[in-house]
Homo-oligomer: A and B are copies of this chain.
Amino acid sequence: RALDLDLGSSTQTSHRLLAYSDALLSIIATVMILPVAHTKIHPDQKLGESVQQLLLTKIAVYLMTFLIVTVAWAAHVRLFQVIELIDDVLALLNLACMMIITFLPYTFSLMASFPEVPFGIFLFSVCAVVIGLIQAVIVVYGFYHPHLLNQQIQVSENQNFYKRHILKIILRGPILCFLAAIFSFFFIPLSYILLGLVIVFPHLSRFITWCKTKILGQRNEEEEHHSLETFSFYLSEPLSKERVEAFSDGVYAIVATLLILDICEDNVPDPREVREKFHESLLEALSEYGPNYLAYFGSFVTIGLLWFVHHSLFLYVTKATRLMGLLNILSLAFIGGLPLAYQLTSEFAEKSHNEIEAIQVSCVITFFASMFQFAIWTTALLHERETLHPFARYGGKEHAFMFAKLALYPCVSLGAFFLTCLLSEFSTEIFHLMQIVIPFAFLALRIFVRISLTLIKSVMSFSRRKVV
C-alpha cells in the first residue's frame, strides 16, 4: 500500500464508473432494436410473411446482442463486487473493455447477414477473448493492489483462492469463445452451439448444482456451503440491487426516447408538399399525422407505466436473487421490443390490412414484458423472508395493491388481444386510447383495492360474529 501511495495513484470510489458502465451497457443492449423497427415493409405485403422474411435476421441480431450484453454485464457486476475501489488505471482499462463490448453488435450484424461465412463468428470470438483478457488484467491488477479489494476479501487469508475463482468465472466465457473461433474454420454449427453455451452456461451450471443437491440430498450442499461461507456470499450472490435498477432504468429510458426520434424524422411535413398539396395550411398537413401522435403518446404511457411498476416492485425487493435477475432480463428484452410495436401500429394504421396483426404483436410484446415482471414478484414471494420488505409480504399492507399493480398490464394486454379476435371494428386508434387511459386505472386501482379490502374485512368480521 505504501508503494501505491508513493506512485501517487489516487484511489477512488467506483460508484460513478459503474453507473456509466451500466448506462453504456443498457443502451447498447437496447439500441439494436432500431434497425429492426426501421425495416421498411411494403404496405401491400402481408405482415405475417414480411415479418418472417425481412425481420427475422434483424430480430435475431437484436436478441443475440441483448443476451450477450447482459451476460457481459453480469460478469462486470461480479467483477466490481470484488474490486470495490478504483484508480485511474482501472478506469481506463474499464473504458477499453466497454469499447470492445459496444463493438459486439456489429459482429452480430455480420453473422446475421453472412451466416455461412466463418469471419463473423471469428470476429465476435476475438472480441470476446479480448474482453476476457482485459477483465483478467483488471482482476490481477486489483489483487496486486489489495487495498482496492472488497473489505472482506482484503482481510481473508486465502486471497489466492478468491483470485483463482474469480478468474475462472471471468475466463469461462472467453475460453468457450476461443474454441468457437478455432472451430469456425472447420465446422460452423459447432461454433454456434459453443456461443449458445456462453449465454446459458451460468444458468445451466446453477441448474445442475440444484438438481444434484435435490438428488443427493441436502447434506452435500450444506458441507460445501460451510467451507465457503463468506466466499459464496460474494460470488454466488450475483447481482447488486442498485446495478439491476440502474441497468433497467437505462433500458426503459432509451426505449422511451427512441420513439421521439422516429416522430421527428418521419412526421415533419415537407415544406414543398405543404405548399402544393395543402394550400399552405400546416395544420391540415399535420392532421394527417394524427394517428402517429396518438401512437406516440400511447407507447410512451405504456413504457412509463411499466417502469413505474418495476420501480414499485423493486422498492419492496430487498435482495435480487439470480433467478429474479434472469426474469428481469427477459422482461427487459421484451421492453426493448416496444419501439417495434410502436412502429407497427403507427405505420400500418389505416394503410393496410395488417392493422389487427400489428395490434396483436403489440399486445404479445406488452404481455410478456409485464408477465415476466409478475414472475419476478412470484419468485420473490417464494422466499419472501429474504427477498421482500415486510410491507409487501403476505398480509402486509401493500401486498394486495402490489398484486393489483403487477396484474394490470397482463390482464389488459390479454384482454386487448382477445378483443382483436372478436371485434372486426377494433382499430389502432382505440388501442392507443386504451393505452393512454390506463394511468387513470392505476389511480382507480388504489381506491378499488381499498374498497374491496374493507368489504372482505367487514364480511369476515360479520361471519365471525355470526359464528360467535
Residues of B within 8 A of A318 (CB): none
Q: Would you call B32 and A283 a contact (CB within 8 A)?
A: no
- With A99-B304, A119-B286 already in contact, the answer to whether A268 and B31 are too (CB < 8 A) is no
- Measured CB to CB, the closest approach of chain B to A439, in angstroms, equals 6
Shortest distance between the CB of A275 and any CB in chain B (Å):
11
A264-B109, A315-B12 given; A27·B253 CB < 8 A: yes
The reply to whether B16 and A261 contact each other, CB–CB distance below 8 Å, is no
Check A8 against B260 for contact (C-beta < 8 Å). no
Contact residues, A409-449 vs B (CB, 8 A): 439, 442-443, 446
A260 and B106 contact, Cβ closer than 8 Å, known pairs A88-B312, A119-B282: yes
Asked if A337 is at the interface of the complex by the 8 Å CB criterion, the answer is: no
| Stretch among A155-163, A243-251, A348-356 lining the B interface | A243-251
Give every chain B residue within 8 A of A339 (Cβ-Cβ). none
- Check A261–B31 contact: CB distance below 8 A: yes
Instruction: Name which of A17, A95, A264 has the most chain B CB atoms within 10 A of its CB.
Output: A264
Cα A109 to Cα B286 in complex, Å, equals 13
Report yes or no: A95 in contact with B304, Cβ–Cβ below 8 A.
yes
Provide the bound-state CA to CA distance between A103 and B32, in Å.
22
Residue of B at shortest CB range from A10? B398
In the complex formed, the residue of B with least CB distance to A269 is B113
Say whether A48 faces chain B, with CB atoms less than 8 Å apart: no
Question: Are B260 and A28 touching (Cβ within 8 A)?
Answer: yes
A20 and B307 within 8 A (CB): yes
Expressed in whole angstroms, the Cα–Cα distance for A304 and B96 within the complex equals 9
Residues of B within 8 A of A45 (CB): none
| Cross-chain contact of A446 among B8, B99, B401 (Cβ < 8 A) | B8
Once the chains bind, are B282 and A117 in contact (CB under 8 Å)?
Answer: yes
Contact, CB under 8 Å: B27 / A254? yes
Cα separation A286 to B20 with both chains bound (whole Å): 31
* A105 pairs with B264, CB closer than 8 A: yes
B-contacting residues, A5-45, CB 8 Å: 8-10, 12, 16-17, 19-20, 23-24, 27-28, 31-32, 34-35
Residue A192 interfacial (CB < 8 Å) = no
**CB neighbors of B among A245-301 (8 A):** 245-246, 249-250, 252-254, 256-261, 263-265, 267-269, 271, 274, 282-283, 286, 296-297, 300-301
How near does chain B come to A29, taking the closest CB pair, in angstroms? 10
Q: Which residues of B contact A114 (CB under 8 A)?
A: 271, 274, 282
Contact A253 B24 (CB under 8 A): yes
Q: Does A92 contact B (CB under 8 A)?
A: yes
With an 8 Å Cβ cutoff, the count of chain A residues facing the other chain is 80
Taking the closest CB of chain B, its distance from the CB of A101, in whole angstroms, is 10
Set of chain B residues within 8 Å of A312, measured between Cβ atoms: 88
Answer yes or no: A164 CB below 8 A from chain B CBs: no
- Could you tell me the distance in whole angstroms from the C-beta of A98 to the nearest C-beta in chain B? 7
Cβ of A314 to closest chain B Cβ, rounded Å = 8
10 tightest Cβ-Cβ pairs between the two chains A and B: A23-B253, A95-B304, A27-B257, A109-B268, A109-B264, A20-B249, A117-B282, A24-B253, A99-B300, A119-B282
28 contacts between A and B (CB under 8 A): A9-B446, A10-B398, A16-B249, A19-B245, A19-B249, A20-B249, A20-B252, A23-B249, A23-B253, A24-B253, A27-B253, A31-B258, A32-B264, A34-B261, A35-B265, A88-B446, A95-B305, A96-B439, A99-B297, A102-B259, A105-B260, A106-B260, A106-B267, A106-B268, A109-B268, A114-B274, A114-B282, A250-B253
Q: Apart from A88-B312, A119-B282, what 16 extra A-B contacts exist at CB < 8 Å?
A: A8-B401, A10-B315, A16-B245, A19-B249, A20-B252, A28-B257, A34-B261, A88-B308, A92-B439, A98-B304, A99-B300, A102-B259, A103-B296, A106-B260, A113-B268, A119-B286
